[in-house]
């Protein structure tokens, strides 16, 4: 009995600070954070701002009834996908769940095409037939947002299997949320990826609440970086609100996978400011908690401050960047609200693959 009590006490001591101290403890700035050059910070600022403004506009269009179905916004989590993309190379694949608009934009998909798909117009990436959770771009190596929780993990592992088979030197960046990390198919994928040393980086975007339940209540092991230990998959926790620490960890993980050492897990400790979807009022957390995260850990604001205080960028230049981004997003919204709806004949396309002669 004494041994059991000691073990329980030890386990309690090894729980991450996020489980004991809430979201605030999970996002304390990492010590000795890597530094970005002026150009790197400017790039990160612009790319994250594009996602933020796009998602804000998508929320507005949803409220106006121009976007139907589900709509899951990425506001607050922008540093994760931008930092990952800064560490990847052309040809690396990206696949994720249904909180996917930010990933699309980060891979270079056009704002017009993404927004038009959200509004169900023929200029959308799936010609208006897929909506928020069902669009992809082979050209940009984005293989979808997926509406079934955890389903993309098996598919992302399959992409990595194809890379290994072809020996093309590419890596599959497979994203999932903290809720999806408890899915059985995730562990089947981990097992196969480790067994065959597949080039895949599993990115767990831990925004602390899954669909609306705190990870402390839903997960026996709240350190998601350890989820691959039984398969011999290394992992690490990363401050997902700081694009610099994300890029640094991503560089390490991607190199590990690309060099033939097999899969790697990155737990990105991040935070979504909005509810799980546009229909979620998010009453399971306090307004003070959300405000504190916005005020002290906002990924875009941290870069803005560095650009002004460290790199000497004039605030007028940043305002000009914001204006340019808003112009791109407004143009996308204008296109997405005036583009024609799909022709009825589209109901019969993309059902069967035509066999080549």
**pLDDT tens sequence across 304-339:** 999 999 999 999 999 999 999 999 999 999 999 999
Q: What is the pLDDT of residues 153-168, one digit of tens each?
A: 999 999 999 999 999 9
What pLDDT sits at residue 13? 37
Q: Specify the pLDDT at position 216.
A: 92
Residue 122's domain comprises 38-333
86 pLDDT above the threshold of 50: yes
Residue 344 lies in a domain: no
| Both tokens assigned to 344 | 């009825």
Query: Which residues, 6 or more positions from 101, have their beta carbon under 8 angstroms from its beta carbon?
Result: 51, 54, 55, 58, 73, 74, 114, 118, 132, 145
234 within domain boundaries: yes
Is 20 part of a structural domain of the chain? no
Cβ atoms of 166 and 178 within 8 Å: the answer is no
| Residue 357 confidence class, pLDDT cut points 50, 70, 90 | low
Q: What's 281's domain CATH number? A: 3.40.50.970
- Cα–Cα distance for residue pair 175/305, rounded to 1 Å: 29
Between CA 146 and CA 153 the distance in angstroms is 10
Q: Is the pLDDT of residue 356 over 80?
A: no
pLDDT digits (tens, 9 = 90+) for 88-107: 999 999 999 999 999 999 99
- Of 168, 339, 194, 320, the C-alpha closest to 262 is 194
From the number of C-beta atoms within 10 Å of its C-beta (0-12, 13-18, 19+), residue 6 rates as exposed
Q: Is residue 353 part of a domain?
A: no
Give residue 352's pLDDT. Answer: 86
Residues 6+ apart with CB under 8 A from 356: none
For residue 6, give Cα distances in angstroms to 3, 10, 270.
Answer: 5, 6, 32
Does residue 82 carry a pLDDT above 80? yes
Domain presence at residue 323: yes
Question: What are the tens digits of pLDDT across the range 177-210?
Answer: 999 999 999 999 999 999 999 999 999 999 999 9
Instruction: Give the rounded percent of residues in the chain with a pLDDT score beyond 90.
Output: 86
Under a CB-based contact definition with an 8 Å cutoff, are residues 123 and 335 in contact?
yes
The CB density around residue 157, as the number of other CB atoms within 10 Å, is 25
Please count the structural domains in the chain: 1
């Amino acid at each position: 009995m004494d041994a059991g009590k000691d073990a329980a006490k030890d386990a309690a001591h090894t729980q991450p600070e996020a489980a004991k101290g809430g979201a605030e403890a999970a996002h304390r700035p990492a010590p000795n954070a890597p530094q970005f050059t002026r150009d790197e910070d400017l790039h990160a600022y612009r790319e994250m701002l594009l996602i933020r403004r796009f998602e804000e506009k998508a929320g507005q269009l949803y409220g106006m009834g121009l976007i139907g179905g589900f709509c899951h916004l990425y506001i607050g989590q922008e540093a994760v996908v931008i930092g990952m993309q800064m560490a990847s190379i052309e040809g690396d694949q990206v696949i994720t769940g249904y909180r996917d608009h930010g990933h699309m934009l980060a891979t270079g998909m056009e704002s017009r095409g993404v927004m038009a798909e959200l509004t169900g117009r023929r200029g959308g990436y799936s010609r208006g037939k897929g909506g928020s959770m069902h669009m992809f771009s082979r050209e940009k190596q984005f293989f979808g947002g997926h509406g079934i929780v955890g389903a993309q993990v098996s598919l992302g592992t399959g992409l990595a299997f194809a890379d290994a088979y072809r020996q093309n030197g590419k890596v599959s960046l497979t994203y999932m949320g903290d809720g999806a990390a408890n899915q059985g198919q995730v562990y089947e994928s981990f097992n196969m990826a480790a067994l065959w040393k597949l080039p895949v980086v599993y990115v767990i975007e831990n925004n602390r609440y899954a669909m609306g339940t705190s990870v402390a209540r839903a997960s026996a092991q709240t350190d998601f970086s350890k989820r691959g230990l039984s398969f011999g998959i290394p992992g690490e926790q990363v401050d997902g609100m700081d694009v610099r620490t994300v890029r640094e960890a991503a560089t390490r993980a991607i190199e590990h996978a690309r060099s033939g050492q097999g899969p790697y897990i990155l737990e990105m400790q991040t935070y979504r400011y909005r509810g799980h979807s546009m229909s979620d009022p998010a009453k399971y957390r306090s307004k003070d908690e959300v405000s504190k995260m916005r005020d002290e850990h906002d990924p875009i604001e941290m870069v803005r401050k560095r650009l002004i205080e460290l790199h000497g960028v004039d605030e007028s230049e940043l305002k000009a960047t914001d204006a340019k981004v808003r112009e791109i997003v407004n143009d996308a919204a204008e296109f997405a609200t005036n583009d024609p709806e799909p022709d009825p004949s589209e109901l019969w396309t993309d059902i069967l693959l035509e066999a080549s002669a």
